[in-house]
Amino acid sequence: MTKVLTIGEVLVEIVATKKGNGFREAVPLIGPFPSGAPAIFIDQVGKLGVSSAIISRVGDDDFGHVNLDRLRADGVDISGIEVDPQGTTGSAFVRYREDGSRAFVFNIRHSACGTISLTFENRKTIETCTHLHVMGTALYAPSVVETVMVALDSVKARGGTVSFDPNLRPEIMNSPGMREALSTVLTRTDLFLPSGEELFLFTTAKEERAAIDELLETGIEAIVVKRGAAGARYYDADQSLTHPGFAVEELDPTGAGDSFGAAFVSFWLNGSPPAEALTYAAAAGARAVTKIGPMEGTSNRAELDALIEGAGPIAITRQ
Ligand code: ATP
Ligand code: MG
């Protein structure tokens, strides 16, 4: 049976309710919302009824329990989340600027999830899984990188598959060993899910089609390029498909990419044709932005069906 694993940060997110440039003045805040890119991803997989697990670490504090309660309720196997009585759960403060970009203050590396490591329990969790989704954001500490690499080897050795979302934030790109780790993951990837400039991270080509060809030649089976409100494009060796964005009101874009990736992976693993996986992924990404709070907009199957049916016929362009 398919079981999806991800590894990395479990955080709370606290959002400034007033737009502006960062946190150098007192601003009203709302939160804590359950968050962390891997956590949002795996919550969306769980909500679609696909077997799922996450390896992470939280403190024995309210911020940790906000996450444990949500993930458990949505069907995720949380036995790989260690609760560290001495630790503090990670956090991210986010404030939107007027131009739509985001300023973050992260507490990740020095929080409980900064010390995720390869425990006996984690090895057991890894062995129950057939697919690994790697979040680039999760490669922020050497011990997490080691855990991801062991999971990669284990899943691949058992004939499983790997998806990879670089999910880069300028704030974390300077972590030690990050670039090398990203490059190693890419060489083992079956399904690549970049957005924007991330497509060109490891290509010599600087134009989309040429970069896709370069990546497909390295043995990646399929690539899905996320394009925000414009939707997404799917590529494999035989075809490319362009899906427009669903028309929704964007209240909070954080988590769209993670929800999109989770829905795509869930349908792809269940053998859906790429066009169907792409439609459900675009619907999950669209629903995600309609809710304030990064994990608040994850969806179950009925919610995605309702959005897709409500939107009427969609023109998917094939090449
Ligand atoms: P993240 O900030 O979570 O890392 P990302 O850059 O990885 O995001 P996006 O391209 O922002 O990913 O969003 C993923 C997908 O969600 C898009 O490809 C699109 O299908 C859908 N989506 C995102 N924003 C919107 C929007 N405003 N309206 C409709 N669909 C959207
Ligand atoms: Mg992303």
Q: pLDDT per residue over 153-200, tens digit each?
A: 999 999 999 999 999 866 666 777 788 899 999 999 999 999 999 999
Q: Is 265 helix (H, G, I), strand (E, B) or coil?
A: helix
Q: What is the mean pLDDT of residues 11-24?
A: 96
Q: Report which of residues 173 and 107 the model is more confident about.
A: 107
Q: What is the largest distance, in Å, between two alpha-carbon atoms of the chain?
A: 55
pLDDT value for 172: 63
Q: Is 180 helix (H, G, I), strand (E, B) or coil?
A: helix
Q: How far apart are CA 275 and CA 234, in angstroms?
A: 8
Q: What is the mean pLDDT of residues 124-135?
A: 97
Where is 156: in which H helix or E strand? helix 142-157
Q: How far apart are CA 153 and CA 162, in angstroms?
A: 10
Q: How far is CA 276 from CA 132, 234, 264, 270, 311, in A?
A: 21, 11, 9, 11, 15
Q: What percent of the chain has pLDDT over 70?
A: 98
Residues 6+ apart with CB under 8 A from 51: 1, 2, 3, 4, 77
Asked if residue 296 has pLDDT above 70, the reply is: yes
Q: What mean pLDDT, rounded, does the chain reach?
A: 95
Q: Which residue in this structure is represented by tokens 């690994």?
A: 132
Q: What is the mean pLDDT of residues 197-223?
A: 96
Length of the chain: 319
Q: What percent of the chain has pLDDT over 90?
A: 89
Ligand nearest to the CA of 257: 1
CA 33-38-39 angle, 5° bins: 40
Give the Å distance between the CA of 86 and the centre of ligand 2. 31
A 10 A CB-CB count for 142 gives 13
Sheet strands side by side (includes 222-226): 81-84, 52-59, 4-7, 131-135, 161-165, 191-192, 222-226, 232-236, 240-243, 317-318
Residue with CA closest to ligand 1 atom 23: 228
pLDDT value for 40: 98
Q: How far apart are CA 235 and CA 223, in angstroms?
A: 5
A 10 A CB-CB count for 25 gives 8
pLDDT one-digit tens code per residue, 256-286 = 999 999 999 999 999 999 999 999 999 999 9
Which domains, and CATH codes, for the chain? 37-55+116-311 (3.40.1190.20)
Q: Which residues line ligand 1 (CB under 6 A)?
A: 167, 195, 226-229, 231-232, 245-246, 248, 250, 253-258, 260, 282, 285-286, 289
pLDDT value for 171: 61
Residues 6+ apart with CB under 8 A from 180: none
Tokens of 141: 């500490």
Q: What is the ipTM of this complex?
A: 0.97
DSSP state of 137: G
pLDDT value for 142: 87
Give the Å distance between the CA of 167 and the centre of ligand 2. 4
Q: Among the atoms of ligand 1, which is closest to the Cα of residue 165?
A: 7
